[in-house]
Amino acid sequence: MSDPFYVTTPIYYVNDVPHIGHAYTTVAADVAARYHRLRGDPTYFLTGTDEHGQKVERAAREHGKDPQAWTDAMIPSWRSVWTNLDIAYDDFIRTTEERHETPVKAFVKNLYERGEIYEGVYEGPYCVACEQFYLESELVDGRCPVHGIPVERLKETNYFFRQSAHADWLLNDYYARTPMPVRPEARLNEVIGLVRQGLQDVSVSRPSLEWGIPLPWEPSHVIYVWIEALQNYITALGYPAGALFRTFWPAVHFVGKDILRFHAVTWPAMLHAAGEEPPREVFAHGWLLVRGEKMSKTKLTGIHPDELLATFGVDAYRYYFMREIAFGQDGSFSWESMVARYNADLANGLGNLASRVLTMIVSYFDGVVPDPGPDAGQGSLERAVAAALPGYRQGMESFAFHEALEAAFGIVREANGFIVTTAPWNLAKDPAQRAKLGTVLWASAEALRAMAVLLSPVMPRACGTLWEQLGIAEPLRAVRLDAAAWGGLKPGTRVSKGDALFPRVTELA
């Protein structure tokens, strides 16, 4: 039995509509989930929305709405962006749901009863855009280090979680684990450095705010939004008693590097304090930069995914972000690089290969997949497929999606070379070469079949179309990864040419 795989995205604040930065994390998590389903692993993929806190409350008030009405009104734009991006989540949690609020209260009360929470006074800066307390030393020119906007000054009674009491456990046990609980490695070192410098306790409640979950023993406070939001990862599984929790916890959390500390320090410490297992892994990816800066709504550089989907389509959208940027590093988004990547890899690469091979099977064999006949040098193609697999798996399993894709595209390069070398259009002129022509086209179509399997987590729709064009009866979604092994294409089935998978786009589209 293979290991269960549970992957989560951060839950997104509903103060505004999504942009491509949010979609970046969600697409990556969807790719990981689809890959694990392809492997046959029991898989669970959670996303959702973070609906409490001052930021959401203020957005609601600015629009003259009550926060609950506002969040309800925002949900369709979040659900539809995921539909448009072919995101196949298993669950979508909203933090205003009763199934979240009730176990959150119980969790916090349990920590209180265990002596992990005490009353104190917080005095210092707070960034509402991050919903985060900062140390003076962390500010940049007196401003929020992430958003570059002025911070607010707070002095208020808070309940605090004794995060500092868990520093030894974090350093000597959790971070020392193999496999690494925080990746990439540079991020693990950053977190270790931070904890070594000395951990502060963290606020778990805010007084005199209305929009939040009341603190069970002090209802004039609401639970600090981050403390409740983190718990979505377990409340969605029916924590504490739910069968999903028992099956799938602990999770792999995909997060942006700006929220690493909450996930890699506070969250495992909270779980440890409650006697629960910490996350299996926190993977921090970089930022999408636009003109060298973190793209954000605050800075008016936010781009909505739909703006790109209209030109490139969903498969190319997903492919571009997974291929162009090393997952874990910052990466620049630009229209020009998207056009270039699209045309090189998809229109001229995979799309052109598929169209050539299918067209030739239609013209030379009436659309029926030929028998592999005598040797036509197809061993090189078979070897290319075998050679792509380890790099592909390794990349997918370590969330180095760009490496997995690069490995898979080795097959396209080899297949294009194979077609040029064997020149089927010349073989077709000579009836004595008919059997060899069959081998060339069978092998080229077989390479396409392997590509459809390997790329299906990243480009589910286009791969499904390619699969149907190849005339394979079993639906692609029923196929497992081992189907990518050489030799599975049955002669005698009927292919169809259909529309181009990736029509070329021009720079100015």
Find the shortest distance in angstroms from Cβ 226 to ligand MSP.
7
Tell me the per-residue interface mask from 45 to 84 with ligand MSP, x by CB under 6 A, - otherwise: -----x----------------------------------
| Whether the Cβ atoms of residue 30 and residue 88 lie closer than 8 Å to each other | yes
Which stretch in 292-300, 366-374, 444-452, 458-466 sits in contact with ligand MSP by CB under 6 A? 292-300
- One of 12, 126, 409, 442 touching ligand MSP (CB under 6 A): 12
CA distance 43 to 146: 33
The answer to whether the CB of 444 falls within 8 A of the CB of 372 is no
Tokens coding 115 = 């002596």
Q: Which is nearer to ligand MSP, 291 or 413 (CB)?
A: 291
Interior angle at CA 112, CA 106 and CA 118, nearest 5: 145
The answer for residues whose C-beta is within 8 angstroms of residue 432's C-beta and 6 or more apart is none
Sheet containing 117-127, strands listed edge to edge, beginning at the edge strand earlier in sequence? 132-133, 117-127, 152-161, 202-203
To the nearest 10 degrees (0 to 180), the angle between helices 434-455 and 401-422 is 170
Give the separation between CA 221 and CA 394, rounded to whole angstroms: 47
For 14-48, the three-class secondary structure string (H helix, E strand, C coil) is CCCCCCHHHHHHHHHHHHHHHHHHHHCCCEEEEEE
Q: State the residue for tokens 């002129």.
A: 429
Asked if 486 touches ligand MSP (CB under 6 A), the answer is no
10 binds ligand MSP (CB under 6 A): yes
Work out which of 31, 209, 230, 252 binds ligand MSP, going by CB under 6 A: 230
Please identify, among the stretches 56-64, 67-75, 82-90, 229-237, the one whose residues bind ligand MSP according to the rule CB under 6 A. 229-237
Instruction: Report in angstroms how near the CB of residue 128 gets to ligand MSP at its nearest.
Output: 12
Cβ closest to ligand MSP, residue 95 vs residue 465: 95
Q: Which residue is nearest to ligand MSP (CB)?
A: 256
Which of residues 6, 7, 21, 125 is near ligand MSP by CB under 6 A? 21
Q: Judged by CB under 6 A, does residue 408 bind ligand MSP?
A: no
- Quick check: 248 binds ligand MSP (CB under 6 A)? no
The residues annotated with a catalytic role in the active site are 19, 22, 127, 130, 144, 147, 294, 297
How far CA 508 is from CA of 336, 338, 435, in Å, comes to 9, 12, 45
Interface with ligand MSP includes 11 (CB under 6 A)?
yes
The residue range among 18-26, 119-127, 169-177, 357-365 that interacts with ligand MSP, by the rule CB under 6 A, is 18-26
Segment 310 to 339, residues that bind ligand MSP, using CB under 6 A: none
**CB of 146 or CB of 384, closer to ligand MSP:** 146
SS3 state of residue 98: helix
Q: For ligand MSP, which residue of 213, 227, 255, 273 counts as binding (CB under 6 A)?
A: 255
Contact 242, 215 (CB under 8 A): no
Return residues touching ligand MSP (CB under 6 A): 10-13, 21-22, 24-25, 50, 229-230, 232, 255-256, 258-259, 287-288, 294-296
